[in-house]
Amino acid sequence: MKKILIATEKPFAPVALKKIEKVFDKAGKNYQLVLLESYKERKELLQAVADAQALIVRSDKVDAEVFEAASNLQVVIRAGAGYDNVDLEAATARGVVVMNTPGQNSNAVAELAIGLAIFGLRELFSGKPGGELRGRTLGLHGFGYVARNVFRIARAFGMKVIVYTRYSKGAAAAIGLKVTHSLEQLYAKSDVVSIHVPARGEHIKSVSYEILNELKDGAVLVNTARKEVVNEPDLVRIMEEKPNFKYMSDITPDCENIFKEKFEGRYFFTPKKAGAQTAEANINAGVAAAEQIVAFFEKGDRTFQVNK
């Protein structure tokens, strides 16, 4: 019997849990599903994971301490796209396979990005005259699954869309999407920029003063990715220098207090990361996670392994 622990500080929708259970029921009697939802203390996770063979998480921190506590652990599935919350080196050192579920929650995040763009352009629904998406230029910073959904939705709104990507130029060209030569150029030409790069490598703090300074004064920057990709002191400086610039984010920055003090009406931060917080996204990512675990144990399938 393999213990599968679902440990989520931010719980899945109940309908998603039912569907996850079904996947394991269908796979036979070899799986025992254990739920640790909305846990407040880290020690709850450390205790629950102690005898688990598989772990499903969302943005929950899975660091060396967790791997240390989980001596039977063979596989961790991050039910979602970004796996910056999982210590891959610690996993590899202990021979644990880590996978994500790419693309599964991308429409939900994309819809939120568009929602934040509208909220920003409409002056946070304050009653001040705002602007419309139609006819404006949207710059996609990155072109993964979320950005591709944003592109689809933005086109339906009548936006002109451009993109800066290093790794997905072919995919962008295939659908006739203009790829800018540089990130600076993307920011300079856009009325709305939406960030869709992971918190890894060259992307960390890649949204710097030099890049932000290219933005038009009235531009809206939407961040449904990670706070780590933005250089926060540079962002604060730009907020000061461009009085009509707005920052709409699904991730509260560390410098939230400065925003509260100085930039009222020009920013919005969701109280808790909400991009993937829909029943549909939870079903897609949760069921994919469950299926990947079954495929891993039954067939040794490691298709979405990220710590190769």
Residues at the site binding ligand 3PG, with contacts judged by CB under 6 A: 10, 58-59, 80-82, 105, 273, 275-277
C-beta nearest to ligand 3PG: residue: 80
Name which of 148 and 273 has its Cβ closer to ligand 3PG: 273
Q: How far is the CB of 107 from ligand 3PG (least distance, A)?
A: 12
Structure tokens at 285: 């990512």
Name which of 197 and 211 has its Cβ closer to ligand 3PG: 197
Name which of 12 and 245 has its Cβ closer to ligand 3PG: 12
Q: How far is the CB of 237 from ligand 3PG (least distance, A)?
A: 26
Name which of 54 and 276 has its Cβ closer to ligand 3PG: 276
Name which of 133 and 195 has its Cβ closer to ligand 3PG: 195
Phi then psi for residue 159, to 5 deg, are -85, 155
Long-range contacts of 66-74 (CB under 8 A, 24+ apart): 67/91, 67/93, 67/94, 67/96, 70/96, 72/3, 73/49, 74/296, 74/297
Name which of 105 and 307 has its Cβ closer to ligand 3PG: 105
Radius of gyration, CA atoms only, the chain? 20
Name which of 90 and 195 has its Cβ closer to ligand 3PG: 195
Q: How far is the CB of 14 from ligand 3PG (least distance, A)?
A: 16
Name which of 82 and 142 has its Cβ closer to ligand 3PG: 82
Q: How far is the CB of 36 from ligand 3PG (least distance, A)?
A: 15
Q: How far is the CB of 82 from ligand 3PG (least distance, A)?
A: 3
Sequence letter at residue 40: K
Q: How far is the CB of 148 from ligand 3PG (least distance, A)?
A: 15
- Residue count (the chain): 308
Q: How far is the CB of 26 from ligand 3PG (least distance, A)?
A: 24
Q: How far is the CB of 277 from ligand 3PG (least distance, A)?
A: 6
